Structure 1
Amino acid sequence: MHTELVAERRHTGTREYWNEALETMPWKEVERWQSEQIGNMLLPLRERSGLYRTLHADLSADLKVRSLADLSKLPFTMKDAIRNAQDQASDTEPFGGNQSAPLVDIVQAVSSSGTTGRPLYYALTQRDMEVWSDAIANNFFTAGVRKSDVVAHLVGLPMVAGGLPYADGFRRIGATLCWLGGFPTDRILREMRRLRTSALLATTSFGLYLTEQWDAVGRETGVPSALRKVLCGGEPGLNQPEIRDRIMRGLGISQLREVMGLGDVISGMWGECEEHDGMHFNAQKHVAIELIEPDTGDLVPWEAGATGEIVYTTFARDATPLVRYRSRDHALVIGTECACGRTSPRIRCIGRTDDMLIYKGMNVFPTAIRDLVTERFAGEIEPMLRIWKERADQVRFDDPIPVDVEAHPSMDAGIYPGLAEAIVQCVRTQLQVRIAVTVLAPGSLPRSVYKNSLLAIRGAA
């Protein structure tokens, strides 16, 4: 690797970077360097991975990848292919047909959260763990975490991609790790005060949930809050000013940053800088990204205003590599230049392709409904919605899509019917779909200590 790509934690004026050279390099140069790494990886990959021996069987052995555009010559890797490969597990290859390193070299397993189906398991060698901790540290550093911070890590499950890997990322920065996830909420709030935590990592849902008890429980300790920085992710939502404002006011902070990753690839890759205007890609040292049109698979340029599905290729992965892996995360490109000096694309995640709903021929993301309603009716409803499906595989709706919302505590119950009708008309006008709204009393929708599902199935436990 070129020496200029590995310098870490430099300072440029008032700006701070984890890897200054790579984060400020012109993006075309970054992509050119990445294409070299991918080209060198492809032939050995077929020898190591049964999955890619099959997927790439028809590719010429002398296929050249001179630019990331050449990746379009390669097939996509779909989640079902990974599941099928995992089902080929054996005593020597418990991670299945894509286990590309001997079992004796694998030191950790990571699990997806399983929010979109049966969990997938990914193996990491020691080198893979170094890659993950470096990328995640880079991401958290971009999002404002520093060595001087005391971090409350609130993901309660160690094996999921946001568990141990995130802890490793905080330790890589040198921050003081306080892993409080898994404790009851009231204990979390008390221990955060007693430990003088300055930073907090949680899902967006849990960040909202904490605001409801932050002051009441915290005051019982008699210790003033030291919290200054909050990192939230794991689900879309922080693109909504109402949700951001609720978390910032509720927790008494001035710095709220959105972060995102993908457990299949690296669990922390996208994070907001101090400009608070979209998440930068921060794993360019280890992963290449493409943006595609979901229906056709055609490449979409990384240009402001563009939308598409993110596709990942790991070129520094020993145990369970991924080439052109379709994330199903649908993104809006905010920009490709930033006042912070970083050159990687900035995005907002606007939903998952898998979650798309169809009302009489009109496509709509559930997040689009939520974002419109919470923005237009801020102060009248809480930023909590639930969209109902009759069964897990339902995509099409011939009748209006059922939506539950919570009224703001200041709203009298007598106006609920009129509020519901106003929301229906707004969504119909702006999104060209019909919804059936039920306005509920404050606190009626369930709160979760991990993620609050925007979509739910009638009658499911």
Structure 2
Amino acid sequence: MARGMQAEIATGDGQYWDAGLETAPWQEVERQQAAGVARMLEGLRDRSALYRRLHADLPAGAPLRTFSDLQALPFTYKADIGAALDATDDNRPFGENQCAGTEDIVQILASSGTTGRPFHYPLTRRDSEVWADAVAQNFFTAGLRPSDIVAHLVGLPMVAGGLPYADGIRRIGATLCWLGGFPTERILREMCRLRATAFLSTTSFAVYLAEQMPAIAVETGVAPRLRTALCGGEPGLNQPEIRERISTGLGLTRLSEMMGLGDVLSGLWAECACGDGMHFTAQRYVAVELIDPETGAAVPWQEGATGELVYTTFAREAAPVVRYRSRDHAVVTGTGCACGRTAPRIRCIGRTDDMLIYKGMNVFPSAIRDLVAEQFAGRAAPLVQVWKDSRDQVRFDVPIAVDVEAVEELPGAAQAALAGEIEAAIRSRLQVRVAVTVLSAGGLPRGVYKNSLIAVRDSAH
């Protein structure tokens, strides 16, 4: 699967970044990925103290001939990565999984830290090129083109959605307008004045832009030129109500969901023009599996299948990961597509890290949000916030506190009635009890970067 780092946009209708790769039979892609993983595993135990430990029980030189042979390798967990990052010394300042010399490392990325302490990941020069190419394919799949003027709204260059996203935009040949980090009002004004045609943001911030942009357009006297939006960092674009609010409010012709993971690669999944789920777009550099989260057994890529996503990087020099359990749970929405891409399509339905338990019943916060969006569209905003008493709280013996935002100002009695209806609907469908507080319109945060569905109460209060 080797090729030069300088990507070439396919000829023809221009809908592919790499037509040969993206339309190849998926079994052939997996065969080539298995060969790439086999090459990466050669000497890995010599380069990485982490995998010297995790793979200690594997026979030396055990062959990896087929993609299914991956199942014989142990999983890598977030805790393994964290422990490796903590074990630093002067020779390996980036921990026990540093597989390249410090003199060869050109960049450090950080996780956002929204679900715990931030992790730091090193990249070599080749790693950064791989990421730029993979992000470019991701964004091209999602609708960016060389003619676009792209407002990059992530304000933190060091995170996986910062510099790598900027590199991907430039790799496509689009015009990069990095507006993240400015006050929100300036972001909106500059998007109008610079005639931005596309932007990258979180889902919740895109909702906020849709609410505020009409007034800013009047103030600047420049009608928005936006036609494409790429949203990620949070779930939510599976809900028609959220998509409608963003698309209609901003006059978009294309709204695409995307997803990446700093531990692996910041651009992994993206929607094509057909929608209905995100294609895997990093097949040149990363192998992906779907597993049963309880048993660890492989789950075939079939429409309607659900499972946890597991990744193996076979083109990452500085900090490779083998069978990394992402804790992202997905449902497969298709294995073929009218666009011609052969990579499976998914929707992310929640994270193991976010799962809550109410008196023995499991529930994803995203399921609560989706129910509100589906059944109460027009009365409640498709945004919710679930409250925990502490970061580590998983179990609830009392109703789970949930904030919901009304779409318009409601008198007290109407707020109470809406709260009661939502509580009853959640109990009926999800079999858990919640205590709903209805907030005024605009009462929930819209962040430029990630907003967690879960909030932790301030223990000082």
TM range (shorter): over 0.9
- How far apart, in 2, do the equivalents of 1:2 and 1:401 lie? 51
Q: Is the 8 A contact 2:111 2:159 kept in 1?
A: yes
Offset, 1:3 = 6.8
Evaluate the alpha carbon distance shift between residue 4 and residue 49 of structure 1 in structure 2; reply closer, same or farther with a 3 A threshold. closer
Q: Is the 8 A contact 1:15 1:340 kept in 2?
A: no
**What do the CA deviations read for 1:188-228 (whole angstroms, capped 9, x no partner)?**
11111111110100011211122221111222111121111
Q: Is the 8 A contact 2:7 2:133 kept in 1?
A: no
Evaluate the alpha carbon distance shift between residue 2 and residue 337 of structure 1 in structure 2; reply closer, same or farther with a 3 A threshold. same
**What do the CA deviations read for 1:352-407 (whole angstroms, capped 9, x no partner)?**
11111111111111000110111100001112211111111111112211111111
- How far apart, in 2, do the equivalents of 1:460 and 1:164 lie? 35
Q: How does 1:188-337 map to 2 (within 5 A)?
A: 188-337=187-336
User: What residue is the counterpart of 1:372 in the other structure?
Assistant: 371
Tell me the SS of whatever aligns to 2:106.
strand
In the alignment, structure 1 residue 394 sits paired with structure 2 residue 405: no
Offset, 1:413 = 3.8
- How far apart, in 2, do the equivalents of 1:384 and 1:118 lie? 25
User: What residue is the counterpart of 2:177 in the other structure?
Assistant: 178
Tell me the SS of whatever aligns to 1:230.
strand
Q: How does 1:329-368 map to 2 (within 5 A)?
A: 329-368=328-367
Tell me the SS of whatever aligns to 2:220.
coil
Offset, 1:126 = 0.7
Tell me the SS of whatever aligns to 2:403.
strand
Number of positions where the alignment pairs a residue of Structure 1 with one of Structure 2:
460
Q: Identify which range, 261-270 or 293-302, moves more after superposition.
A: 293-302
**What do the CA deviations read for 1:14-67 (whole angstroms, capped 9, x no partner)?**
352101111000101100111011112212211111111111111111212122
Q: Is the 8 A contact 2:55 2:74 kept in 1?
A: yes
User: What residue is the counterpart of 1:9 in the other structure?
Assistant: 9
- How far apart, in 1, do the equivalents of 2:5 and 2:389 lie? 51
Offset, 1:410 = 5.9
Q: How does 1:23-42 map to 2 (within 5 A)?
A: 23-42=22-41
User: What residue is the counterpart of 2:158 in the other structure?
Assistant: 159
Evaluate the alpha carbon distance shift between residue 162 and residue 410 of structure 1 in structure 2; reply closer, same or farther with a 3 A threshold. same
Matched letter for residue 37 of structure 2: I
- How far apart, in 2, do the equivalents of 1:141 and 1:378 lie? 32
Q: Is the 8 A contact 1:406 1:440 kept in 2?
A: yes
- How far apart, in 2, do the equivalents of 1:41 and 1:449 lie? 37
- How far apart, in 1, do the equivalents of 2:458 and 2:318 lie? 40
Q: Identify which range, 46-55 or 175-184, moves more after superposition.
A: 46-55
Evaluate the alpha carbon distance shift between residue 354 and residue 165 of structure 1 in structure 2; reply closer, same or farther with a 3 A threshold. same
Matched letter for residue 337 of structure 1: G
Q: How does 1:38-77 map to 2 (within 5 A)?
A: 38-77=37-76
Q: Is the 8 A contact 1:6 1:19 kept in 2?
A: no
User: What residue is the counterpart of 1:121 in the other structure?
Assistant: 120
User: What residue is the counterpart of 2:449 in the other structure?
Assistant: 450
**What do the CA deviations read for 1:93-145 (whole angstroms, capped 9, x no partner)?**
11110000001111001111111111111111111111100100000000010
Q: Is the 8 A contact 1:356 1:365 kept in 2?
A: yes
Q: Is the 8 A contact 1:155 1:202 kept in 2?
A: yes
Tell me the SS of whatever aligns to 2:43.
helix
Offset, 1:435 = 1.2
* Structure 1 gap ranges (5+): none
Tell me the SS of whatever aligns to 2:318.
coil
Tell me the SS of whatever aligns to 1:453.
coil
Q: Is the 8 A contact 1:336 1:343 kept in 2?
A: yes
Evaluate the alpha carbon distance shift between residue 52 and residue 105 of structure 1 in structure 2; reply closer, same or farther with a 3 A threshold. same
Evaluate the alpha carbon distance shift between residue 68 and residue 137 of structure 1 in structure 2; reply closer, same or farther with a 3 A threshold. same
User: What residue is the counterpart of 1:459 in the other structure?
Assistant: 458
Q: Is the 8 A contact 1:8 1:20 kept in 2?
A: no
Q: Is the 8 A contact 1:5 1:21 kept in 2?
A: no
Q: Is the 8 A contact 1:153 1:201 kept in 2?
A: yes
Evaluate the alpha carbon distance shift between residue 421 and residue 156 of structure 1 in structure 2; reply closer, same or farther with a 3 A threshold. same
User: What residue is the counterpart of 1:18 in the other structure?
Assistant: 17
- How far apart, in 2, do the equivalents of 1:324 and 1:404 lie? 37
Matched letter for residue 196 of structure 2: T
Q: How does 1:397-416 map to 2 (within 5 A)?
A: 397-409=396-408, 411-416=410-415
Q: Is the 8 A contact 2:114 2:450 kept in 1?
A: no
Evaluate the alpha carbon distance shift between residue 395 and residue 171 of structure 1 in structure 2; reply closer, same or farther with a 3 A threshold. same
Offset, 1:327 = 0.7
- How far apart, in 2, do the equivalents of 1:179 and 1:2 lie? 32
Evaluate the alpha carbon distance shift between residue 354 and residue 152 of structure 1 in structure 2; reply closer, same or farther with a 3 A threshold. same
Matched letter for residue 164 of structure 2: P
Matched letter for residue 136 of structure 1: V
Q: Identify which range, 110-119 or 406-415, moves more after superposition.
A: 406-415
Structure 1 vs Structure 2 CA RMSD: 1.6
Tell me the SS of whatever aligns to 2:432.
coil
- How far apart, in 2, do the equivalents of 1:306 and 1:6 lie? 36
- How far apart, in 1, do the equivalents of 2:325 and 2:177 lie? 34
Q: Is the 8 A contact 2:149 2:174 kept in 1?
A: yes
Q: Identify which range, 258-267 or 67-76, moves more after superposition.
A: 67-76
- How far apart, in 1, do the equivalents of 2:446 and 2:10 lie? 41
Offset, 1:153 = 0.2
Offset, 1:453 = 2.1
Q: Percent same amino acid among aligned pairs?
A: 64
- How far apart, in 2, do the equivalents of 1:460 and 1:454 lie? 19
Q: Is the 8 A contact 2:200 2:230 kept in 1?
A: yes
